[in-house]
Homo-oligomer: A and B are copies of this chain.
């Protein structure tokens, strides 16, 4: 037991810097947070920050790396997905929605999601990540899913890419609505509401396209 004691007895300083930076970035945006402020909250001097991170940008990078890692851990394996479709579109939609929720439903991940939504414009790295991993990739997955449903004669033979957009654009809308517009609302309340909205949307879509 040498140092690392200031309020929280065991957490390493680097981790404290991570947590507090995330907290502040998510609340005020990256540019609006100063290194001084982070240091003050952590309980050390500004200069000590630079013992753990090369600069302010490096803290953000570390947060984003953590986010990307966490997301990569929570995807549904492809084989499971295919088996799930067999149980019918309703079950698949429901399970899919729960997977997304799970990616957001921790206080830490919620903050990072918010940070991403705030900085998506200002930061090219985050923007590119969003486009690729949170928009294009899911759209492709859903296109394949609808393609499979069509082949199994579960739904009408419509353009699977159109269906992917019809389904998934609503999720992006809910994301935008909460993280950009409605953040003052209670998180859990909104999540329950969003889950219900997404279920309604899936039900509406399914009713429109089922055989």
Q: How many residues in A have their beta carbons less than 8 Å from beta carbons of B?
A: 32
Q: Does A197 sit within 8 A of B, measured CB to CB?
A: yes
Q: When each residue 36-77 of chain A gets 1 if its CB lies under 8 Å from chain B and 0 otherwise, what string results?
A: 000000000000000000000000000000000000000000
Total copies of this chain within the assembly: 2
User: Per a CB cutoff under 8 Å, which of B127, B162, B181 touches A181?
Assistant: B127
Q: Which of A113-154 contact B (CB under 8 A)?
A: 117-118, 120-122, 127, 130-131, 135
Known: A177-B135, A181-B130. A197 touches B121 (CB 8 A): no
User: Per a CB cutoff under 8 Å, which of B32, B120, B182 touches A31?
Assistant: B32
Chain B residue with Cβ nearest A173: B169
Among the stretches A7-15, A79-87, A90-98, A200-208, the one at the interface with B is A200-208
Q: Does A190 sit within 8 A of B, measured CB to CB?
A: no
Known: A32-B31, A162-B204, A204-B166. A172 touches B176 (CB 8 A): yes
The residues of A with any CB-CB pair to B shorter than 8 Å are 29, 31-32, 117-118, 120-122, 127, 130-131, 135, 158, 162, 165-166, 169-170, 172-173, 176-177, 180-182, 197, 200-201, 204, 207-209
Report 8 cross-chain contacts, Cβ distance below 8 Å, ordered by A residue.
A135-B181, A158-B204, A165-B197, A169-B169, A169-B170, A172-B173, A173-B173, A207-B208
List the 4 closest A-B pairs by CB distance, nearest first. A208-B208, A169-B173, A118-B121, A131-B181
